[in-house]
Amino acid sequence: MSDDGDLFFSISPPPSPPPPAESEPTRNGECTPLPRRFPFPEEYPSINEDENSTDSSRSLLRSFRRSVYDPLPNFIHPPNAPITYGGLFGTMPRPGPTNRLTPSGLYAGSVICPKDFEPMRATSPRMTSGAILSSHESTGFGKVIEESAKSKSFLIRALFAAVFVLLLVITVLLGAGAVLFFNKSAESTCQNPSGPPSSGSAIKQHNSPYEEMLWDDVGQHEALSSHLMSLFEPERVKENLRWLAKDVHVAGTEEQLGIMDRIQEFYESLDFDVTPYEYDVLLNYPDYANPNTIHHWNGADWNVMSNGQAPFAGPDELFEAEEQDPRSRVWWNAYSNNGTTIGNVVYANFGTEEDYLLLEKQNISLRGKIALVRYGGVFRGDKALGAEKRGASGVIIYSDPADFAMNGNVTFPSQIWLPKAAAQRGTLLRTFGDPETPFLPSKDYTFREFDEETLRKSGILPSIPVMPIGYEDCAKIMEQLDGPLAMWSRWRGSMNVEYRLTGSANFKLDVRSFSSRRRIKNVVAVFRGAVEPDRFVALSNHADAWVKGAIDPSSGTATLLEVAKVVKEANDYMGWRPRRSLAFCHWDAEEFGLIGSTEYVEEMLKLLQGRAVSVLNVDNVNGNGTLSVKAVPLLYRAIVKAAGKIGHPNPTEVEAGRVTLLDSWKFYSPKGPLPGDKSVPAIGLPASGSDHQRFITFAGVPVADLRLESAPVYSYMLYHTRYELPWTVENLLDPTGEVLPSMGKLWLELARSLTDSLIIPFGVEDYAVYLVEQLKRMDTQLVYLGVDVLIGEPAYRKAFKSVTKAAAVFHHTAKGFQQLIHGVNAGDRPLSLKQVEMLNSRLLSLERAFILDAGIFPEANFQRHSVFALGNGDLSSNSPFALIFDPASKLLESQTEHDSLHWTRTVRLGFSKLQYTIESATSLLALDGF
């Protein structure tokens, strides 16, 4: 090949060609220009060859020219016309130096239409090709054929020509077949409504594995679900519960670390990927050798009202074992300040803000007094803080029999009701996680930002002594009061005494406690998924207790261990692995203030926000009647669907026709969070209650908190007492042995649906419907309270209209997105791997769109979710949107112009932040390039 790309052959030159013909004769003898016939290159190089050469390649070239390039004549060849080369269809000059191919595909010097040519017209209809042949023969054509036949290479040339033509025909046929095939495939895809969305050309070749079409196998999911449910063994759950609740295991003690070590070993024996997470945190303990006490001054001496201990009131067969550890008897509230205070007692009902204000209206001061409050209404730490802000020197908290012993004298061990010599323990910490290291995990390298003294001055920890007691001891105190009677009916409980507001008697409260930095340990065990192993659903439960904790938390812990065992057996027997991973999470120090889970969230925040699908928490199983659920709207449908598959463990419910957990849930709690939708029963706000809280309010991970409770009357009255024993669970809570396994089945089925579904089965549309409905309710409340007037009606109405419009747009977008999720997960349509990933990545990030990095407002920077932040006021206690409700409450309470201006700005800014997060969620759902 030459530099310019022309192809040359070294061949002997041919004879000189006759003069070229420039036109073709017509019927009247005139010549017309020949049309362009073949789209070949501008010219070919000269080819010199010997006419009589036997070289096969050269012969093939000659045959090729004769058969392809000779033009088809449209006239009868005259007998006397000169023939320079015998072609199949007419005459053509031999190629030579002067006969290069032209753009028309003809030789420049071809003699096709000689100027002196006189056409011979057919005079008879009988003139046929035979006549033409004889004409050719008479002019020398037969001689040419005869000479060619004598050539030694004639057969070879013919064979090569035939093969070439055959290959050409095959190539054309294959090309035509391919075109028809892809046209048919594209047409089928366009006509199939179940096919994936298409863009661009109808003919789409799948050259990438990301375009492989995937279907969700619904039948396989159902079969797997049934098999998993069959693997639960109630006896294993009982065995777990017995060793978990054998000893007192308070966080930070050797007993608790021993339990966490054993849990770690359990998962290692299952070959899960196990990681311990250890932290050094500030905890608080009583002096077990010198319990807290309350005395009454009788004018001469101090009489004991309470010795701070509970004598054992359980079954006789347990007495000896339960009295071996004196720590079971001691009453205490964690983080109470150590000290002694003397003063009058003031009864403040539940110790809510409303109760304290009511006392002030009666001119009853708490300054220098000891507040006596009962459990219920608000968090115990808020009871203490409210009293402390009003100058109280101490707080006593008791459990009134009206709330905890509704059947009067029939209490534990005959029934689940609280006996008179039992008291509820609990924390007073008014934050979450280690209070010394907010926003950072309490690791060895972490600087301790606050010390205990600073924390008590700031109100994070109480600066006054606080102590819990039983209602038997409380009655002794109330009998000594001689002040005005409590005239409000809701202030009167069911103790057999007169409820008075205060009195002249003096009491002494002695609290002996100390704080210490202790080691705690979380255990996270991961069962890796098969397709998306870096994404996981977390099954969450804490393992620490105030005493032995057979109900809280060990009923949940024992169940979670059984769930892990079932998962392992399914893997061993049938090779099952979910599409995404399962993470079994056991937290430490939950009772002190969600410390273990909070430290984990702070340490693993980025990982959680990038990989966590959801957190499914079961703190405890405390009843056998109905489900109690707190969850984000994304999980409503998944929970309902799972509950409908689990048989009810209570024979009484089954006899009443409520054969599944969903049936009893709908019966006892029919009013759900979605307007007009009766398929979803009551579901509470997910922002409080247990370890799931920090995952939603700080990290933006979708959560659910699941519990089984008694119905129609709540009966978990032994909460945080020494009577939470395995005996209690086996004889009062779960006598059939099926209650805890039923919760395990629900837990696993919900987790399986979230890990195994092709598309994460989130209720995107439910979220939008919920937002629209809650915005309407917020508007009604704020207008009723006059908040719109305080911040300016035009500004309020403009802000509310704007955020409502944003929610409507989110609803419109979510509705289409939800239809796509449902169609795929129902097995009605396939998606490509690329499309599956596009959907799941958006769903994984949706809840995070509502996170405000700097917090909902400066005074609540530890709460970051614009919808589900934990509120700190009466308005936000049972409502979402704490970023608006909490500052609105402060605005209503403002006493100065400065405070009023500050909270007005905060309310208006809250509307802007809420709309920003809603619009962020809408943008996230956009399927650009889908």
Q: pLDDT tier at 682 (50, 70, 90 boundaries)? A: very high
Q: What length is written for the chain?
A: 930
**Bond prior to 712 in cis (omega within 30° of 0):** yes
What pLDDT was estimated at residue 6? 38
Q: Which two tokens stand for residue 808?
A: 């409507």
Check pLDDT > 80 for residue 403: yes
Check pLDDT > 90 for residue 84: no
* 787-831 pLDDT per residue, tens: 999 999 999 999 999 999 999 999 999 999 999 999 999 999 999
Counting beta carbons within 10 angstroms of the beta carbon of residue 757, is it exposed (0 to 12), middle (13 to 18) or buried (19 or more)?
buried
Check pLDDT > 80 for residue 96: no
What pLDDT was estimated at residue 159? 78
Average pLDDT over the chain reads 85
For residue 151, which amino acid is it?
S
Higher pLDDT: 727 or 60? It is 727
Active-site positions read 590
> 649: Cβ–Cβ under 8 A, 6 or more apart, which residues?
624, 734, 736, 738, 739, 741, 742
Q: Number of C-alpha atoms within 13 angstroms, CB side, residue 141?
A: 22
Check pLDDT > 50 for residue 194: no
Lowest mean pLDDT among 72-81, 337-346, 481-490: 72-81
Q: What is the DSSP string of 362-417?
A: TT---TTSEEEEESBSB-HHHHHHHHHHTT-SEEEEE--HHHH-TTTT--TTTSSS
The CA-CA-CA angle for residues 383, 587, 374, to 5°, reads 20
Nearest to 742 by CA among 827, 836, 626, 656: 626
Q: pLDDT tier at 509 (50, 70, 90 boundaries)? A: very high
Is 68 in a helix, a strand, or coil?
A: helix
Q: Which two tokens stand for residue 476?
A: 């002794």
60-75: average pLDDT: 40
Q: Which two tokens stand for residue 185?
A: 């495939």
What pLDDT was estimated at residue 4? 41
148-161: average pLDDT: 65
Lowest mean pLDDT among 106-115, 167-176, 381-390, 430-439: 106-115
Lowest mean pLDDT among 173-177, 220-224, 480-484, 511-515: 173-177
- Cα 182 to Cα 169, 192, 211, 376, distances in angstroms: 20, 15, 16, 71
Check pLDDT > 80 for residue 152: no
End-to-end C-alpha distance for the chain, whole angstroms = 49
> 39: Cβ–Cβ under 8 A, 6 or more apart, which residues?
105
Check pLDDT > 70 for residue 322: yes
Q: Which two tokens stand for residue 42?
A: 């501008």
Q: Number of C-alpha atoms within 13 angstroms, CB side, residue 727?
A: 14
The position carrying tokens 């190539």 is: 171
Q: Which two tokens stand for residue 505?
A: 């008697």
Check pLDDT > 60 for residue 195: no
688-699: average pLDDT: 95
Nearest to 739 by CA among 115, 404, 237: 237
- Cα 890 to Cα 434, 648, 671, 894, 899, distances in angstroms: 27, 46, 31, 6, 8
What distance in Å separates the CA atoms of residue 785 and residue 779, rounded to the nearest whole number? 10
* 816-871 pLDDT per residue, tens: 999 999 999 999 999 999 999 999 999 999 999 999 999 999 999 999 999 999 99
What distance in Å separates the CA atoms of residue 604 and residue 799, rounded to the nearest whole number? 36
Domain boundaries, the chain: 218-285+516-756, 291-511, 764-925
CATH topology of domain 218-285+516-756: Aminopeptidase (3.40.630)
Contact assessment for residue 97 and residue 44, using Cβ atoms and an 8 Å cutoff? no
348-360: average pLDDT: 95
Rounded to the nearest 10 degrees, the angle between the axes of helix 793-825 and helix 764-785 is 160
Check pLDDT > 50 for residue 82: no
Counting beta carbons within 10 angstroms of the beta carbon of residue 48, is it exposed (0 to 12), middle (13 to 18) or buried (19 or more)?
middle
Q: Which H, E and C letters describe 283-342, residue by residue?
A: EEEECCCCCCEEEEECCCCEEEEECCECCCCCCHHHHHHHCCCHHHHECCEECCCCEEEE
Q: pLDDT tier at 639 (50, 70, 90 boundaries)? A: very high
For residue 195, which amino acid is it?
G
Nearest to 741 by CA among 229, 61, 169: 229
Nearest to 426 by CA among 450, 462, 454: 462
Q: pLDDT tier at 689 (50, 70, 90 boundaries)? A: confident
What pLDDT was estimated at residue 379? 94
Counting beta carbons within 10 angstroms of the beta carbon of residue 609, is it exposed (0 to 12), middle (13 to 18) or buried (19 or more)?
middle
Hey, what's the torsion of the CAs at 771, 775, 777, 778, to 10 degrees? 130
What distance in Å separates the CA atoms of residue 435 and residue 96, rounded to the nearest whole number? 101
Check pLDDT > 80 for residue 34: no
573-581: average pLDDT: 96
Q: Which H, E and C letters describe 544-583, residue by residue?
A: CCCCCCCCCCHHHHHHHHHHHHHHHHHHHHHCCCCCEEEE
Positions of E strands within 26-143:
31-32
Is 543 in a helix, a strand, or coil?
A: coil
Nearest to 227 by CA among 567, 659, 638: 567
What distance in Å separates the CA atoms of residue 86 and residue 62, rounded to the nearest whole number? 11
Higher pLDDT: 416 or 80? It is 416
Percentage, residues of the chain above pLDDT 70: 80
Nearest to 129 by CA among 80, 63, 64, 73: 73
What pLDDT was estimated at residue 331? 97
What pLDDT was estimated at residue 143? 52
* 875-906 pLDDT per residue, tens: 877 899 999 999 999 999 999 999 999 999 99
21-28: average pLDDT: 43
Check pLDDT > 50 for residue 40: no
Is 282 in a helix, a strand, or coil?
A: strand
CATH topology of domain 764-925: Transcription Elongation Factor S-II; Chain A (1.20.930)
Check pLDDT > 80 for residue 14: no
592-610: average pLDDT: 97
Contact assessment for residue 536 and residue 611, using Cβ atoms and an 8 Å cutoff? yes
CATH topology of domain 291-511: Glucose Oxidase; domain 1 (3.50.30)
Q: pLDDT tier at 256 (50, 70, 90 boundaries)? A: very high
What pLDDT was estimated at residue 150? 54
